[in-house]
Amino acid sequence: MKNILVIGAGGQIGSELVPYLRNIYGTNNVVAADIDRNKCKDLAEQGPFEEINALDGEGFTAVVKKHKIDTIYNLVALLSATGEKDPLLAWKINMGALTNSLNIAKDNGCAVFTPSSIGAFGDNTPKDNTPQDTIQRSSSTIYGVCKVSGELLSDYYFNRFGVDTRSVRFPGIISYVQLPGGGTTDYAVEIYYDAIRKGSFTSNIQAGTYMDMMYMPDALRAAVSVMEADPSKLIHRNSFNIASMSFEPEQIAAEIKKHIPNFTMDYKVDEVKQAIANSWPNKMDDSCAAAEWGWKAEYDLTSMTPDMLAKVKEKFDKGLIK
Ligand code: AKB
């Protein structure tokens, strides 16, 4: 039986990963933690919750000991576009949460999952079918610098100290429970909200810009499957390419139009986000994840779109969002 701690539980992934894990391992075995209890009211009402700052090593350690934690999901991070507003803060938070997670895991015998991202690739990485092992000189964003450093540090803790570190390179994640904040791929979530809200959308990413994306149910399954994988089969650890769909703005708009025929889209490009998007892969090759732990995506753009539209519409109809 696992005792799991999810730090950064109030974000886009955590708000769905915690219930998903509680469903698998039991509510009392999954502790949600965040710096701000107000961001996690539902998670705190439904099961164990701790208010901790992941940069406070003593407080973090106390929670790990109190709940006899054996697995840490570290989801604390400033995303790519937000990171560019204050790069040093992004470094401090992203790397601080990771180094604390790894050290505390080493001292307390825990496994660690920390998401990496398509942001771990840069301008000189091959863009199509981006290989698992390839050039990673992702120095155009602090987010990318943190992701590459995080992958290396996690592998180091495995090789040097035997800490069971594993992770995946997430594409842009599309979901309807909690909005992402400050990512380059956020447009692919916002488009569904605006399609329901006003039947139109202004994209801040240029037509023709392909990026990997993934629907949240696949992302959750990936995070748990890699942690459950048979370690004897793992050639890689930090981090596995995972993929399910790759599209550019015109393609997601066309898919929405199938369900909302009057939907329209125009463009007001955000130069910072566009430069970041241009440096990322068009589509990753996820064959190592498939071979080493059986990864296979279930959703594509066509199957995700009606589900997203229905779920977002339900939130509007219930008055949960305006
Ligand atoms: C971002 O856009 O910053 C994230 C990511 C792809 O890691 N969604």
Closest residue by Cα to atom 7, ligand 1, is 117
Any domain includes 288:
no
* Cα-to-centroid distance, 298 and ligand 1 (Å): 20
Any domain includes 187:
yes
The reported pLDDT for the residue numbered 154 is 98
> pLDDT over 70 for what percent of the chain?
100
The reported pLDDT for the residue numbered 1 is 72
Ligand 1: does its nearest atom lie under 6 Å from the Cβ of 183? yes
Tokens 């915690």 belong to which residue?
Answer: 18
Which class for 226: exposed (0-12), middle (13-18), buried (19 or more C-beta within 10 A)?
A: buried
* Atom number, ligand 1, closest to the C-alpha of residue 143: 3
**Residues 160, 73 share a domain:** yes
State how far the Cα of 269 lies from the Cα of 141, in Å rounded to an integer.
18
Of 84, 85, 94, 118, the residue with max ligand 1 atoms within 8 A of its CB, to mutate for a pocket test, comes to 118
Look up residue 157 and give its two tokens: 């803790």
Residues 282-302 have a mean pLDDT of 98
Task: Please write the tens of the pLDDT for every residue from 57-85.
Answer: 999 999 999 999 999 999 999 999 999 99
**Residues 193, 160 share a domain:** no
State the CATH number of the domain containing residue 90. Answer: 3.40.50.720
Confidence grade of residue 180 (pLDDT, cut at 50, 70, 90): confident
Any domain includes 204:
yes
Of 75, 78, 80, the residue with max ligand 1 atoms within 8 A of its CB, to mutate for a pocket test, comes to 80
What is the average pLDDT value for the chain, to the nearest integer?
A: 96
Ligand 1: does its nearest atom lie under 6 Å from the Cβ of 94? no
Q: Fill in the DSSP letter of residue 17.
A: H
**Residues 28, 103 share a domain:** yes
**Residues 209, 122 share a domain:** no
State how far the Cα of 67 lies from the Cα of 194, in Å rounded to an integer.
42
Any domain includes 291:
no
Stated pTM of the model = 0.97
Confidence grade of residue 138 (pLDDT, cut at 50, 70, 90): confident
**Residues 23, 102 share a domain:** yes
Any domain includes 14:
yes
**Residues 207, 107 share a domain:** no
- Residue 102 in this model has a pLDDT that exceeds 80: yes
Closest residue by Cα to atom 4, ligand 1, is 183
Task: Please write the tens of the pLDDT for every residue from 234-265.
Answer: 999 999 999 999 999 999 999 999 999 999 99
Any domain includes 271:
yes
Q: Any bridge partners for residue 173, and if so which?
A: 214
Residues 124-138 have a mean pLDDT of 94
Task: Please write the tens of the pLDDT for every residue from 20-58.
Answer: 999 999 999 999 999 999 989 999 999 999 999 999 999
**Residues 203, 127 share a domain:** no
Closest residue by Cα to atom 6, ligand 1, is 172
What is the extent of the structural domain holding 77? 4-171+215-241
Residues 94-117 have a mean pLDDT of 98
Ligand 1: does its nearest atom lie under 6 Å from the Cβ of 239? no
The reported pLDDT for the residue numbered 72 is 98
* Cα-to-centroid distance, 160 and ligand 1 (Å): 29
**Residues 256, 145 share a domain:** no
**Residues 200, 143 share a domain:** no
The reported pLDDT for the residue numbered 321 is 85
State the CATH number of the domain containing residue 187. Answer: 3.90.25
Ligand 1: does its nearest atom lie under 6 Å from the Cβ of 163? no
Q: For residue 85, give every residue at least 6 positions away whose Cβ sits within 8 Å of its Cβ, in sequence order, or none.
A: none
Ligand 1: does its nearest atom lie under 6 Å from the Cβ of 11? no
By C-alpha distance, which of 210, 203, 179 is closest to 308?
Answer: 179
Kindly report which listed range (14-18, 134-138, 161-165, 274-278) carries the lowest average pLDDT score.
134-138
Ligand 1: does its nearest atom lie under 6 Å from the Cβ of 79? yes
Any domain includes 24:
yes
Q: Out of 20, 25, 73, 143, which one is annotated catalytic?
A: 143
Q: Quick check: 75 and 113 in contact, CB under 8 A?
A: no
Q: Quick check: 309 and 259 in contact, CB under 8 A?
A: yes
**Residues 188, 177 share a domain:** yes
> What total number of domains does the chain contain?
2
Tokens 């904040």 belong to which residue?
Answer: 181
**Residues 234, 219 share a domain:** yes
Annotation says 143 is catalytic: yes
Ligand 1: does its nearest atom lie under 6 Å from the Cβ of 80? yes
**Residues 44, 18 share a domain:** yes
- Residue 322 in this model has a pLDDT that exceeds 90: no
Confidence grade of residue 8 (pLDDT, cut at 50, 70, 90): very high
Closest residue by Cα to atom 5, ligand 1, is 172
